[in-house]
Amino acid sequence: MKKVLKGIGIFLLILVLLIAAFFAFLTVTQLDPKSAGADANLMLDRSESNRSFSEGDSIDVLSWNIGYGALGKESDFFMDGGEQTRPESRSVVEKNMEGIIAQIQSVDADFSILQEVDSGSTRSYGVKETAAIADATGLMNFYALNYKCAFVPFPWPPLGKVSSGLFTLSTAQEVSASERIALPSPFSWPVSTANLKRCLLVTTSPLEGSDKQLVLVNLHLEAYDDGEGKAAQTKVLTEFLREQYEAGNYVIAGGDFNQTFPGGLDFYPVINNELWTPGLLDESNLPGEGWQFAYDTKTPTCRLLNMPYDPSDPATQYYVIDGFIVSPNVQLNSVETIDAGFAFTDHNPVHLNVTLSAD
């Protein structure tokens, strides 16, 4: 009996040491938002961008969460009440990416801000989505990692290696600065080692004949938290936007807020409170007087991934969580959610047109 107990004790000790070693490895190799540097903010060396911008110009911006090319109509997701951690095959990802790239090209916006773009992840079968989009568009582009983990150990089958982030395409001939701004995380160790490190990807373009800048913010705020993370990240966002506007710049922030815009739930009410629900945005989340949200409720911007997409099923849950915030000197001309039928991702793209109002 003593030998049996000793054997069990040794086995448990080895197991504890292996688990400790695994989380130590994840801790060392995880994305460090305080010193992300070039590893999390890359400008890819491909550019046929040739446009200059001035005060008074109209600007087109496309925002789209592309769901790392793996969350098309045939997919569900375990965090939303579904089962999958990735689609059945690489061909599904490749099919989705072809559709996503075709949509981006057809809109031909001055700026495209994309979220959940993988650069070599198990969940998307290693497809280098950043390179595929860059090669197809030929535009100046910027990439900020917000999810880097050598091996995400859950659920089963596990997510595995993840390398993903925010991706901005620009037709601007010149970008004076690009910056990754870390956002607060609601997760503590050891959960944080295998979780996202949210950020803002900020690109700044000079305006001809002016000392002002066009500041474009690409964002993807917290999703699976208790709400405190979203609130803290939104506060950092609004403070940054206010600072940029007070410095005399034109400011456009857009992406996936994971919070529904005012009135969104009136059009797309919650069907099942036991599944994922977004946070709520209201006027108090704007940086100040004259700022405005830009969003479209005529078409939902996302669907819940508790099941494959079936628009005929009354249990299909829609939300409006993708859109923009624009500064008082940016005139809102139009904002439209493009109905892409959730064929290639669980989000629809949102197309914004604004004018940079001259003084």
CATH code of the domain in which 275 resides: 3.60.10.10
Would residue 260 count as lying in a domain?
Answer: yes
Q: Which residues contact 131 (CB under 8 A, 6 or more apart)?
A: 44, 119
Q: How many residues does the chain have?
A: 359
Would residue 15 count as lying in a domain?
Answer: no
The radius of gyration of the chain from alpha carbons, rounded to an integer in Å, stands at: 21
pLDDT of 40: 44
Would residue 160 count as lying in a domain?
Answer: yes
With tokens 């410095």, the residue in question is: 247
Q: How far apart are CA 199 and CA 222, in angstroms?
A: 10
CA-based end-to-end distance of the chain:
87
Q: How far apart are CA 227 and CA 68, in angstroms?
A: 24
Strands 292-294, 302-303: pairing kind: unpaired
Would residue 18 count as lying in a domain?
Answer: no
Would residue 51 count as lying in a domain?
Answer: yes
Distance of CA 295 to the CA centre of its chain: 16
Collapse the DSSP code of 66 into the 3-class scheme (helix H, G, I; strand E, B; otherwise coil) and give the result. coil
Q: How far apart are CA 145 and CA 53, in angstroms?
A: 28
pLDDT tens digits in sequence order for the chain, 359 residues long: 666 555 665 655 555 555 555 455 455 556 665 554 434 445 555 566 678 999 999 999 999 999 999 999 999 999 999 999 999 999 999 999 999 999 999 999 999 999 999 999 999 999 999 999 999 998 989 999 999 998 888 887 888 999 999 999 999 888 888 899 999 988 766 666 768 999 999 999 999 999 999 999 999 999 999 889 999 999 999 999 999 999 999 999 999 999 999 999 999 999 999 999 999 999 999 999 999 999 999 999 999 999 999 999 999 999 999 999 999 999 999 999 999 999 999 999 999 999 999 76
Domain count across the chain: 1
pLDDT of 309: 98
Q: How far apart are CA 146 and CA 64, in angstroms?
A: 16
Q: How far apart are CA 238 and CA 234, in angstroms?
A: 6
Buried b (16+ CB within 10 A) or exposed e, 249-273: bbbbbbbbbbbbbeebbeebeeeee
Model-wide pTM > 0.85: yes
Would residue 306 count as lying in a domain?
Answer: yes
How many separate helices (H) and strands (E) can be counted in the chain?
6, 18
SS3 content of the chain, % helix, strand, coil (to 5): 25, 30, 40
Would residue 6 count as lying in a domain?
Answer: no
Q: Which domain holds residue 71?
A: 31-356
Strands 330-337, 350-356: pairing kind: antiparallel
CA angle 236/240/244 to nearest 5° reads: 175
Please give the structure tokens belonging to residue 6.
């000793």
Would residue 317 count as lying in a domain?
Answer: yes
Q: Which residues contact 268 (CB under 8 A, 6 or more apart)?
A: 260, 297, 300, 317, 318, 319, 320
